[in-house]
């Protein structure tokens, strides 16, 4: 299996622009997670889906952030408009089940820089 | 609320020596505990987990971790460190009390450097 695939790997954009991050989870995994990693705040869970349905989006920082999962093999995280403080590494992860004892598998991340 | 503490930002160890990366946790009810490793410019990779049963858990690349309920700890260990073990290590906790919330809380990470 190719693992969790994220694109792009790097994104540089200007403040105010829309940014879309993409994720393909591992085939057969039912849960998908979006995390953000910064030096200041570490790893933060933004949102997670189970069977394509958003379960918990309490970590989404603002209305500028939105996430969708139109099918079992694709998810997007959109930031509109982007701001410099959104600069971070964004990880997508998937797990076989929703159960809290199930490990997650992470993609390589998208390094977002907003200038 | 659940939390994880990794008291050491940086651990240095000589190659061939045993290594320990510390983790303590706080959670309501029984914990599920995880260790992940992150190499530069890569995502987190799962190493091992404790769910129930034997307190000593063995994982990938020769790593193991010991669950200690009385000390609320889950330290990561390896008998003989390799230079290639140098990476950022994260401890994480969740709980069956999380229910549908699927809360997995990560520690702040410990940078392990193995010196040749």
pLDDT tens digits for range A28-62: 999 999 999 999 999 999 999 999 999 889 899 88
B50 pLDDT tier (thresholds 50, 70, 90): very high
As given in the structure block, the two tokens for residue A68 are 């969708």
The three-class DSSP label of residue B82 is coil
Interface test with A, best of B1, B44, B106 (most A CBs within 10 A): B44
Place of tokens 């394509």: A52
Residues of B with Cβ-Cβ distance to A45 under 8 angstroms: 103-104
Residue A52, min C-alpha distance to chain B (Å): 14
Residues β-bridged to residue A34: A47, A92
pLDDT at A26: 96
A1 pLDDT tier (thresholds 50, 70, 90): low
Residues of B with Cβ-Cβ distance to A55 under 8 angstroms: 100-102
Residue A57, min C-alpha distance to chain B (Å): 10
Looking at every residue in chain A, the average pLDDT score rounds to: 94
Alpha carbon distances (Å) from B113 to A62, A88, A91, B73, B89: 37, 24, 24, 22, 11
CA distance B89 to B48: 12
Chain B residue set in contact with A, beta carbons under 8 Å: 32, 34, 36, 41-46, 49, 51, 90, 94-96, 98, 100-104, 106-109
Instruction: Examine the pLDDT at B101 and tell me if it is beyond 80.
Output: no
pLDDT at A101: 85
Instruction: Examine the pLDDT at B41 and tell me if it is beyond 80.
Output: yes
Q: What would the mean pLDDT of A64-91 be, rounded to a whole number?
A: 97
pLDDT at B98: 58
Q: Which string of DSSP letters, residue by residue, matches A44-105?
A: EEEEEEETTEEEE-TT--STTEEEEEEETTEEEEEESS--GGG-EEEEEEEES-SSTTS--E
Q: Is A88 within 8 Å of A13 (Cβ atoms)? A: no
């Amino acid at each position: 299996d190719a693992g969790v695939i994220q694109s792009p790997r790097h994104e540089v954009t200007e403040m105010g622009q829309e940014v879309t991050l993409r994720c393909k989870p591992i085939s057969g995994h039912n849960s998908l997670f979006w995390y953000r990693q910064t030096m200041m705040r570490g790893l933060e869970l933004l949102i997670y889906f189970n069977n394509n349905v958003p379960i918990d989006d309490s970590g989404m920082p603002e209305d500028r952030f939105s996430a969708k999962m139109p099918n079992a093999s694709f998810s997007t995280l959109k930031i509109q408009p982007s701001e410099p403080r959104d600069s971070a590494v964004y990880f997508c992860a998937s797990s076989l089940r929703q159960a809290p004892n199930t490990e997650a598998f992470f993609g390589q991340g998208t390094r977002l820089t907003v200038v | 609320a659940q939390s994880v503490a990794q008291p050491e930002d940086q651990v240095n160890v000589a190659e061939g020596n045993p290594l320990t990366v510390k983790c303590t946790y706080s959670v309501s009810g029984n914990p599920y505990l995880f260790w992940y490793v992150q190499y530069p410019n890569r995502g987190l990779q799962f190493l091992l987990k404790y769910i129930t049963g034997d307190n000593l858990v063995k994982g990938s690349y020769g790593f193991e971790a010991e669950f200690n309920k009385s000390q609320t700890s889950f330290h990561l260990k390896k008998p003989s460190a390799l230079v290639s073990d140098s990476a950022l290590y994260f401890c994480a906790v969740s709980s069956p009390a999380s229910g549908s919330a699927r809360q997995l809380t990560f520690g702040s990470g410990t940078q392990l450097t193995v010196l040749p």
